[in-house]
Amino acid sequence: MPDGIRVPVGVVASLAQFAETPGTGAALMALAPETLWRLLERVWAVRWIEQPELAAWAAPLHEWLMIQPSPRQARSVVAVTHAALDAGLLRLTGAQDAQVRREADPLGAVLTTLRSKGARQANAEEHTPSEVAELLARLTLGRDPLASGSLCEPTAGTGGLIRAAASEAAWAGRDVHTFEWAMNDVDPLAAASCASNALTWDLGPNVLVGCADVLITPDWPSTARKERAQIRAQHAREVADARALAGLRLLMAGPAPTVGQASPPSGGRD
């Protein structure tokens, strides 16, 4: 079982992938502990199908879900789930309108709250208030943002400045999906949160996430682009293999009986 704050942050990241629909929260809280655990694991399998690089970059938040949990571990996931849903998480992260989802960064708040002061100082972490992030976004983009472009945040934390920039671009009538959003942080959980947030905030297909010390690896965006290409290639191979197996299965099963077609005899002779 992962130690420290990986589990609560990972649970919040997993829950943030659900849309807010009537009864969703109640249904999640009614699940048995191990059933909830497996459901959260499958969330990331779905995300792998949709945007494989973001699911892969978010792995530190969810790879621990692949283990067989003990009863105590499963109950801890239930406790975090209930606390997050009772606090109204899905109202922030599950809205149908992506602009509403871009108004908040719950992962940033959770990570900052749970991490010790010493750990934050060691990583030089300082959470940027949303009001400050939004002001910086307006100053960066100007009153009439370009229709597309690339915004890079080498010390992104959980992506708060990128969140504000995407929101500002959308309010100005720009298509967020035409921009390249590049986020990096030296802390693996923060970098993984950037990837998870990119899904929640619907930043589109042109996202880069790095986990590097920019003083040592200043060209981290190039590394992230190579990683993305490799992940997408692996994804394409796996999808092709799955389709080939599905086709083979149909061939092996033979044609389906038509309506009204008699069933084959069960065996024996008259």
**Other CB atoms within 10 A of residue 196 CB:** 30
pLDDT of residue 122: 53
pLDDT of residue 257: 64
Cα 195 to chain center, whole Å?
Answer: 6
User: pLDDT below 50 — which residues of the chain?
Assistant: 1, 270
CA distances from 162 to 99, 152, 207 (A): 13, 8, 11
What's the CA dihedral at 187, 193, 197, 200 to 10 degrees?
170
pLDDT of residue 119: 54
pLDDT of residue 144: 65
pLDDT of residue 228: 98
**Other CB atoms within 10 A of residue 137 CB:** 22
pLDDT of residue 181: 97
pLDDT of residue 72: 92
* Digit-coded pLDDT (tens) for 152-163: 999 999 999 999
pLDDT of residue 103: 93
pLDDT of residue 180: 95
Distance CA 183, CA 154 (A): 6
> Are the C-beta atoms of residues 92 and 23 closer than 8 Å to each other?
no
